[in-house]
Amino acid sequence: MQRTLVMLKPDAVHRGLAGRILARFEAKGLKIVALKMAMMDRETARRHYARHKGKDFYEPLIRFVTSAPVVFVVLEGKGAVALVRKMMGATFGPEAEPGTIRGDFGVSNRFNLVHGSDSPEAAEKEINLFFRPDELLDWQPVALPWTYDFSTGDVV
């Protein structure tokens, strides 16, 4: 199984969408293995978004994600990184397809509700940035055999 990081940004928290967004991931069959609400400090935000440094949206993005609480969640499931990205939809709400998180809830080209790791490598780095190893729970939901077909023995 693969893990990925999701961050519900300040706009999702302020708009009361955190529970609805998390429910979508759970309903799809993704397992929550870590969850916390926190204020992100500027140093951590700069490390997280380092690849965007120098771009015109970088400083406004840092101000935005440090302006209010965010919710960090680690999700686990088969192909979790790609699945979460598909569920989030296009980066900007007006361009996102209906049925995606941003398509259903997003209207802004600046505030896009949610961040999801863009690769398994990024997921590992991001999870380690926001969670200690002892905060990641290893557990098996009783519904797992009813979520994935284990008949082939391949659960990755």
pLDDT of residue 131 exceeding 70, the answer is yes
pLDDT of residue 155 exceeding 80, the answer is no
pLDDT of residue 126 exceeding 60, the answer is yes
pLDDT in tens, 58-88: 999 999 999 999 999 999 999 999 999 999 9
Helix 18-28 to helix 80-88 angle (10° resolution) is 130
pLDDT of residue 54: 92
Average pLDDT, the chain: 93
pLDDT of residue 109 exceeding 60, the answer is yes
| Long-range interactions of 59-68: CB distance < 8 A, separation 24+ | 60/110, 64/9, 64/10, 64/110, 64/111, 65/7, 65/9, 65/10, 65/40, 66/39, 66/40, 66/41, 66/42, 67/10, 68/10, 68/13, 68/14, 68/39
pTM for the structure as a whole? 0.91
Structural domains of the chain, ranges and CATH numbers in brackets: 2-147 (3.30.70.141)
**pLDDT level of residue 150 (50, 70, 90 thresholds):** confident
Give the mean model confidence (pLDDT) for residues 44-62.
Answer: 93
- Residue 129 CA to residue 137 CA, distance in Å, equals 16
Decide: 85 and 118 in contact? Cβ < 8 Å.
yes
**pLDDT level of residue 130 (50, 70, 90 thresholds):** very high
Enumerate the active-site residues. Answer: 115
pLDDT of residue 146 exceeding 90, the answer is no
Helix 80-88 to helix 120-130 angle (10° resolution) is 90
